[in-house]
Amino acid sequence: MEPSWWRRPSALPLLLVVMALLIVVVGGSIRINDAGESCPEWPTCFGTWHFDVSDDEQAAYWAANPDQIDSRGEDHRYTTFQIFVEWFHRLLVGIIAVPIVWNVVSTRRSRGVHGDAVANAAAFSAVLLFIQAAAGYVTVRFDNADWTVALHLSLACIFASGLLWQYMAMRIHEGVKWPFLHAATDYLDAHTKRVYSMTAAVGVLLVLGAWVSSSAGGQYNQSCSVGFPSGWPKCQGSFLPSLDGPGIFIQMIHRFGALVVGLILVLNLSNMRSEAYENEGNQALLRSAEITTGLWVLNVIVGGSYIVFAKVGDFPEWLSLLHLVVGVSAFLSAVYAMFCLQFARKANRQGAGSVTAKVGVESE
């Protein structure tokens, strides 16, 4: 009888994936609560290690550190909740560092069982966590400039993807009988480029979304006006608005990007569906592509709702957070489909008799 999931070696990378996603969600909460600059320095916050910083303490800090004054000016004061969200985000990064280190140690100890690739994946995640922490410092240093926010989110998604690969590789070693491992070789060969292009397209769209949401402190979100249909699906009442207005160019790039990504997903999915046949492995790979496309559709609806239900100067920010969550989920779903394809190809190369033995866990 197979042990409970929490007793398996693969439980650790799975829990780390969940923690990574929690960090992304809290990071998104920082933006929607306008708390991106609520801790003016890193790793401390207003010179302290806690989040309860009064207005007077903030004023004293600005007076003593005029070079740290952010874009809102020295007279701006952050609420305790705003500071807490930023502080909590940093705390989670500190907490996850402990199991990340243990992940490296444990996979190196079991190198003879799981192989070098798993140990290297764990080490990659550890290195990336430190790079991500450095990117967090850069984000604070440059007052949440749009490129720093996009970089921070991109690294977080790569971090989660590495842990997801490690989890899948370890589960295969543990003997899981995932149907996609039996996908036909000709089907995998025919659709490798399609799956890769779907993953790349969703990843680029995610970065574009981060760029739009953080440009000009998020003020460009209202550059296309609000309501239906003037604000969405149109922009300033037109499908082809003038690009002279502030932020309209950025908004239209994001919307055009979403349209292009949708075409890539739908066309590739259509080709994959027509050739799935009755092979259970082919259909399992197809389902992962269908989930990615479905999440893209859902996110278009969520993004549109953010504009449709907004009022001038008053946006439903919870929809903005949901837009981020669904966007990250779509990317990870696409990454999962890509990993499924890679592991299935390795399974086919090693032969059906060794599918559950060492597929994907040894260095090539």
pLDDT in tens, 235-261: 888 888 888 766 788 888 889 999 999
Is residue 265 predicted with pLDDT exceeding 70? yes
Q: What is the pLDDT of residue 354?
A: 47
Residue 292 and residue 148 share a domain: no
pLDDT of residue 150: 87
**Domain of 129, in residue numbers:** 1-176
80 pLDDT exceeds 90?
yes
* H-helix or E-strand spanning residue 196: helix 185-214
Q: Which residue has the tokens 């921070």?
A: 152
Task: Return d(Cα 40, Cα 26) in angstroms, integer.
Answer: 18
Q: Are residues 102 and 135 in the same domain?
A: yes
In terms of domains, do 237 and 281 share one?
A: yes
Mean pLDDT of 284-309: 95
Residue 21 binned pLDDT confidence (cut-offs 50, 70, 90): very high
Please give the mean pLDDT across all residues of the chain. 88
For the chain, give the percent of residues with pLDDT over 70.
92
Q: Are residues 56 and 15 in the same domain?
A: yes
State the pTM of this model: 0.88
Same-domain check for residues 168 and 261? no
Same domain, 134 and 201: no
* Residues 147 and 206 reside in one and the same domain: no
Claim to verify: residue 254 and residue 346 sit in the same structural domain: yes
Contact of 78 with 40, CB cutoff 8 Å: no
Do 160 and 187 have their domain in common? no
* Cβ-Cβ contacts under 8 Å for 12 (sequence gap 6 or more): 99, 102, 103, 106
**Rounded CA gap, 131 and 139, in Å?**
12
pLDDT band per the 50, 70, 90 thresholds, residue 219: low
353 pLDDT band (50/70/90 cuts)? very low
- Tell me if 303 sits within 8 A of 128, measured CB to CB: no
Q: What is d(CA 46, CA 60) in angstroms, rounded to the nearest whole number?
A: 9
Out of 176, 209, 225, a domain closes at: 176
Identify whether residues 101 and 85 lie together within a single domain. Answer: yes
What 3-state DSSP class applies to 235? Answer: strand
In the chain, the number of structural domains is 2
Q: Are residues 254 and 344 in the same domain?
A: yes
Of 149, 176, 203, which residue is a domain's last?
A: 176
Chosen domain end from 160, 176, 192: 176
Q: Does one domain contain both 170 and 182?
A: no
